[in-house]
């Protein structure tokens, strides 16, 4: 596991946490390290071990918290116990074909989830923000959640828009608050309506 810092100053007492979950969200591995990182640096922190009893598709959740406990960075991966292999004998200047593929069909087994969602709206001059608070009340993963701000119910998506994050996953019981910023004039006379979708989100 590597920690990459693109900041222009040193950071101390960062907490880096790695957790591995099976498809049913059974925790199979957890490790946390307190690290210091120089500005604009890359460092290997530790290597993930071989883990027995993984489901065919499993998940890796990586987070970095600053010295105040605030999330400074996060990555979420879905992985397969079946590894892809490359057909090097058929490689060319144009393409290198894949001989066998990773198997992610188990993702179809994720149960449907209804998220708890609330929104707030704020306008400052010509700029407007919509903040979405989402909570996963289930014991399953809410996978690949997508947010949109639409021009009224069933209207077109507001574009351009700058989301703090999107296409993310929510662990069981996890709550996240995410803000979208856009020009108020792009709404026209409509009110913003948040649309929430996802791989297994109702």
Answer whether 2-109 and 116-197 agree in fold.
yes
Question: With bands split at pLDDT 50, 70 and 90, how would you rate the model's confidence at 138?
Answer: very high
Predicted local distance difference test score (pLDDT) of residue 7:
87
Percent of the chain clearing pLDDT 90 (strictly above):
95
Q: Which residues of 98-136 are buried (b: 16+ CB within 10 A; e: fewer)?
A: eeeeeeeebbeebeebebeeebeeeeeeeebbbbbebbb
Per the CB < 8 A criterion, the answer to whether 139 and 152 are in contact is: no
Q: Tell me how far apart the alpha carbons of residues 136 and 175 are, in angstroms, rounded to a whole number.
A: 6
Give pLDDT tens digits for 158-184. Answer: 999 999 999 999 999 999 999 999 999
Q: Is the pLDDT of residue 143 over 90?
A: yes
- What fold, for 116-197? Immunoglobulin-like (2.60.40)
Chain centroid to CA 99: how far? 29
Quick one: pLDDT at residue 108? 97
CATH for the stretch 2-109 = 2.60.40.10
Average pLDDT rounded to a whole number, residues 127-147:
98
The residue ranges of every structural domain in the chain are 2-109, 116-197
HSE-up (13 A, CA, CB side) for residue 110: 31
Q: pLDDT digits over 9-54, tens only?
A: 999 999 999 999 999 999 999 999 999 999 999 999 999 999 999 9
């Amino acid at each position: 596991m590597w920690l990459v810092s693109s900041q222009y100053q040193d950071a101390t007492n960062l907490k880096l946490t790695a957790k591995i979950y099976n498809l049913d969200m059974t925790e199979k591995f957890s490790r946390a390290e307190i690290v210091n990182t120089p500005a604009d640096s890359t460092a290997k922190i530790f290597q993930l071990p071989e883990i027995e009893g993984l489901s065919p598709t499993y998940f890796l959740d990586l987070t970095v918290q600053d010295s105040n406990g605030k999330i400074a960075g996060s990555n979420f991966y879905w992985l397969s116990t079946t590894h892809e292999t490359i057909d090097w004998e058929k490689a060319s200047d144009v393409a290198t074909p894949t001989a066998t593929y990773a198997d992610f069909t188990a993702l179809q087994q994720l149960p449907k989830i209804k998220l708890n969602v609330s929104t707030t709206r704020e306008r400052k001059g010509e700029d407007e923000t919509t903040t979405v608070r989402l909570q996963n009340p289930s014991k399953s993963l809410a996978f690949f959640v997508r947010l949109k701000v639409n021009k009224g119910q069933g209207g077109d998506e507001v574009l351009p828009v700058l989301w703090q994050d999107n296409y993310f996953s929510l662990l069981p019981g996890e709550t996240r608050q995410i803000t979208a910023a856009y020009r108020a004039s792009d709404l026209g006379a409509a009110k913003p309506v948040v649309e929430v979708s996802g791989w297994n989100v109702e």
